[in-house]
Amino acid sequence: LDVSLGQHVEQGDVVGAVGATGRVTGAHLHWGMNWYDVAIDPQLIAGPMPK
């Protein structure tokens, strides 16, 4: 993870790197967003991810 708690990020900023740990079938990056300690769907803010 390349950002800190409370750090402001903008579209295009690098926030982390992909990896493969545990029982996975390929490299991936898991990310999420919280608003006042409630988990929200990041796509509500970021929009759909490019294919």
Tell me, what's the pLDDT at 26? 81
Q: Give the number of other CB atoms < 10 A from CB of residue 33.
A: 13
Tell me, what's the pLDDT at 39? 92
How far apart, in Å, do the first and last CA atoms of the chain sit?
A: 23
Tell me, what's the pLDDT at 8? 92
Q: Taking the chain (51 residues) in consecutive chunks of 10 residues, what is each chunk's mean pLDDT?
A: 88 83 78 88 79 72
The whole-model pTM stands at 0.42
Q: Which pairs from 22-29 meet CB under 8 Å and 24+ separation?
A: none
Domain residue ranges in the chain: 1-51
Tell me, what's the pLDDT at 2? 85
